């Protein structure tokens, strides 16, 4: 069975936030005081509850799950959770988005549990600037996490770099070189008007065409668009001509990629968010806690797909977007 939305898109990718907490407070993502005021512990889904929901999705044709947050590795028991969902028949890929601060500790266990790959956020290779952007992050720990992930075989690994005009746009070239050195694709992400700082972030928006022009000038050759479908998601991917090195650009603002959207998101409190840029969502926690059966849960999910909107409106609404809830994205 496949999950098809009203615009004939097949939904086969589920992003699951397992916590809103994070040990970092990146300026574009978290308020200075950290994650939102904590709800009561009981508001958050247990790993068993998350697995029950994921099992229903997998039965409905979801083949890829990405574990994200907040920072997923601040929650205890992630390898055990990965092992639990790895058993689900039909799930072909389990990926993780992480800031890699704790990855040196968990990489081996995660791989052994069935994690396939991970994406790591790094916005600069300058330790002081890294500390500034993440409000206290430790670049050395992250680089140790990268190496541990590579050694454990979490591949293909990708680096995510949010480009901020006047903050780290001068790091584009260094990040390209770092990716080439490590044989890892770097994906440059246009800042989006989400999270606590919302619209005020757009002062720092650095558009995709400028990013690509900078990279081209730096490598001194053309960028050849790749034809790959898998793993590409909303990124536009390119080979650096004459090499195997790849780079990607994710531009939700300059160009929306909604016509190819194949994903939905589950928050750590059990809200199923159907679109990144809008507030179409349904609550899955209540039915799970009321003891719905597997088949009933599948039915609720199939009906929820009817609410998936055609597209987001970052561009049109850029002056009035107000997000009440942190949404997890990128990856």
Question: Which stretches of the chain bind ligand SF4, using CB under 6 A?
Answer: 22, 24-26, 29-30, 69-71, 99, 121
Minimum distance from CB of 330 to ligand SAM (Å)? 3
* Of 51, 160, 168, 267, the one binding ligand SAM by CB under 6 A: 160
Find the helix or strand (DSSP H, E) in which 190 lies: strand 185-190
* Of 168, 267, 278, 328, the one binding ligand SAM by CB under 6 A: 328
Q: Residue 44's binding partner, choosing from ligand SF4, ligand SAM, none, with beta-carbon cut-off 5 to 8 A by kind?
A: none
121: nearest Cα among 34, 29, 199, 205: 29
* Of 27, 84, 99, 168, the one binding ligand SAM by CB under 6 A: 99
3-state secondary structure of 62: coil
Minimum distance from CB of 163 to ligand SF4 (Å)? 14
194: nearest Cα among 270, 273, 125: 273
Q: Residue 246's binding partner, choosing from ligand SF4, ligand SAM, none, with beta-carbon cut-off 5 to 8 A by kind?
A: none
CB closest to ligand SAM, residue no? 330
Q: Residue 25's binding partner, choosing from ligand SF4, ligand SAM, none, with beta-carbon cut-off 5 to 8 A by kind?
A: ligand SF4
Residue 202 lies near ligand SAM (rule: CB under 6 A): no
| φ/ψ bin of 122: left (φ > 0), alpha (ψ from -120 to 50), beta (otherwise) | beta
Contact 69, 19 (CB under 8 A): yes
Q: Exposure pattern of 288-305 as b/e (b: 16+ CB <10 Å)? A: beeebeeeebbebbeebb
Q: Give the nearer residue to ligand SF4 in terms of CB position, either 275 or 326.
A: 326
Residue position matching structure tokens 């704790």? 102
Contacts with 40 (C-beta within 8 Å, 6 or more apart), sequence order: none
Residue 124 lies near ligand SAM (rule: CB under 6 A): no
Contact 65, 38 (CB under 8 A): no
* Of 192, 261, 273, 284, the one binding ligand SAM by CB under 6 A: 192
What is the DSSP code (8-state) at residue 138? -
Q: Residue 143's binding partner, choosing from ligand SF4, ligand SAM, none, with beta-carbon cut-off 5 to 8 A by kind?
A: none
Distance CA(76)–CA(80), nearest Å, equals: 9
Minimum distance from CB of 29 to ligand SF4 (Å)? 3
Residue 176 lies near ligand SAM (rule: CB under 6 A): no
The distance from CA 218 to its chain's CA centroid, rounded to whole angstroms, is 27
Cα→Cα distances 314→43, 98, 218, 241, 282, Å:
29, 25, 30, 33, 21
Contacts with 212 (C-beta within 8 Å, 6 or more apart), sequence order: 223, 238, 249
Stretch that binds ligand SAM, among 139-147, 189-197, 211-219, 257-265 (CB under 6 A): 189-197
Residue 248 lies near ligand SAM (rule: CB under 6 A): no
Q: Residue 85's binding partner, choosing from ligand SAM, ligand SF4, none, with beta-carbon cut-off 5 to 8 A by kind?
A: none
Q: Give the nearer residue to ligand SF4 in terms of CB position, either 193 or 287.
A: 193
Residue 330 lies near ligand SAM (rule: CB under 6 A): yes
Q: Interface residues with ligand SAM (CB under 6 A)? A: 22, 28-29, 68-69, 71, 97-99, 121, 160, 162, 189, 191-192, 194-195, 201, 328-331
């Amino acid at each position: 069975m496949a999950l098809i939305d009203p615009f004939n898109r097949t939904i086969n990718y589920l992003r699951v936030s397992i916590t809103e907490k994070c040990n970092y407070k990146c300026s574009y993502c978290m308020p200075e005081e950290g994650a939102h005021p904590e709800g009561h512990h009981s508001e958050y889904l247990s790993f068993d509850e998350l697995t029950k929901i994921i099992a229903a999705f997998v039965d409905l044709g979801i083949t890829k799950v990405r574990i994200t947050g907040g920072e997923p590795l601040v929650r205890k028991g992630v390898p055990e959770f990965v092992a639990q969902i790895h058993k689900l028949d039909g799930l072909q890929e389990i990926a993780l988005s992480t800031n890699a601060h704790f990855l040196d500790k968990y990489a081996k266990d995660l791989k052994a549990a069935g994690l396939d790959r991970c994406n790591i956020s790094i916005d600069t290779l300058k330790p002081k600037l890294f500390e500034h952007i993440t409000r206290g992050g430790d670049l050395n720990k992250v680089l140790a996490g990268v190496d541990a992930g590579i050694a454990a075989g979490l591949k293909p690994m990708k680096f995510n770099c949010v480009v901020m005009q006047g903050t780290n746009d001068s790091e584009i070239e260094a990040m390209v070189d770092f990716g080439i050195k490590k044989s890892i694709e770097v994906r440059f992400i246009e800042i989006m008007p989400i999270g606590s700082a919302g619209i005020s972030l757009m002062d720092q928006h650095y558009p995709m065409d400028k990013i690509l022009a900078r990279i081209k000038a730096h490598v001194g050759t053309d960028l050849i668009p790749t034809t790959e479908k898998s793993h590409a998601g909303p990124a536009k991917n390119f080979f650096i001509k004459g090499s195997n090195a790849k780079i990607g650009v994710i531009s939700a603002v300059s160009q929306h990629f909604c016509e190819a959207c194949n994903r939905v998101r589950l928050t750590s409190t059990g809200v199923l968010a159907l679109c990144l840029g809008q507030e179409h969502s349904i609550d899955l926690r209540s039915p799970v806690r009321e003891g719905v059966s597997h088949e009933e849960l599948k039915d609720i999910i199939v009906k929820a797909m009817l609410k998936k909107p055609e597209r987001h409106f970052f561009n049109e609404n850029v002056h009035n977007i107000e997000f009440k809830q942190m949404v997890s994205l990128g990856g």
